[in-house]
Amino acid sequence: MKQGLVAVDRIIAKINREIKGLEATEIDLIEWIGEALEFLKAPNLSEQCVDFIKVENFECDLPIGLQSILQVAKNNVYAEAGFICPCNNTLQESGCDCQDYWNMKLEYANWVSSSFFTDYFTPVRLAQNSFFNSIVCKEKRDIPYQSCRDEYTIVGTTERRLRFSFQEGEIALSYTRNSIDEETGYPLIPENISYITAITYYIKWKLAENLQWNGREGFNSLAQDNERKWLKYCKQAKNYQKMPTSIDDYQDLLEQSHYLIPRENRYYGFFGKLNTQETRVFNKPENRRM
């Protein structure tokens, strides 16, 4: 289990302690906990993953639990007969023999800085319109992300899919998804009293509201009271996430406020120089000559 996250059992146990004769099933409680987490939008609930997906007929499915796409990259050594195994660079007819490599929980920075990514993959840019630029425009300069390279877009209504400018191949998808308890499959919640209390009052609000709809008298005021407390602790939990927790966080905020000139190459450099210190004499009065 990830540090700073706990199982939903803590919420369920808290509800059972505070409400005697609970008229709700475990599935109902899990659904309400999931709804509360969507409202809270806790950033520390997300984890970064890398999935390797086969592209067929210009499209591929999105991974289950995807929240946001970090980057899409195309495998330049993909073969129709199978996959090139990253462990030994040999062709595998039924997939890679080192299964731990595939569909892994890998941080985005570690993935894009790996030799495997650098040697075999090129980024695929999100298309700016319904007509792929890589098909309708002419290349002028061989510059990543600025030339007419491979592109992708998101299509579908009920079932979202990725559509590419190339017909067949393999892509590496780096994305964020919700943290899930591997034992139960239920979502994890932040180990913070503000979040736990907010989710508890959200469940109490929904319970009272449900009883009110079923004709039980006396639950109108109780539902309003729990809604008010839910909104109170919901704001408290969100404010907690915005506060710096270490001296490093304060230093990051300080340094970000010092950029007077936009850094245009940050995106086109694949974020590879985020930790490289810049020479900025123009906004350092202590270093200028008198």
Give me the pLDDT at residue 262, please: 57
Give me the pLDDT at residue 241, please: 78
List the chain domain ranges: 5-41+192-242, 46-178
Residues of the chain scoring pLDDT < 70: 1-3, 43-44, 79-106, 129-148, 256-290
The tens digit of pLDDT for each residue in 16-62 reads 888 887 778 888 888 898 888 888 877 667 788 888 888 988 889 98
Cβ atoms of residues 1 and 45 within 8 Å: no
Is the overall model pTM greater than 0.85, yes or no?
no
The tens digit of pLDDT for each residue in 75-89 reads 888 765 555 565 555
- The length of the chain, given as a count of residues: 290
CA distance 183 to 222: 35
Give me the pLDDT at residue 203, please: 92
Helix, strand or coil, per DSSP, at residue 173 = strand
For residue 139, give Cα distances in angstroms to 72, 143, 149, 221, 241.
21, 9, 8, 66, 44
CA distance 286 to 290: 10
DSSP string over 6-28: E-THHHHHHHHHHSTT----HHH
CA distance 54 to 79: 11
Q: Of 201, 197, 224, which is closest to residue 212 (Cα–Cα)?
A: 224
CA distance 50 to 70: 10
Helix, strand or coil, per DSSP, at residue 175 = strand
For residue 83, give Cα distances in angstroms to 86, 92, 139, 169, 236.
9, 5, 30, 10, 49
Residue that has been written with the tokens 């992708």 in this structure = 152
Rg (alpha carbons) of the chain, rounded to whole number: 25
What would you measure as the largest C-alpha separation in the chain, in angstroms? 80
CA distance 143 to 135: 17
Pairing of strands 169-178, 46-55: antiparallel
State whether the Cα torsion 277-278-279-280 is positive or negative: negative
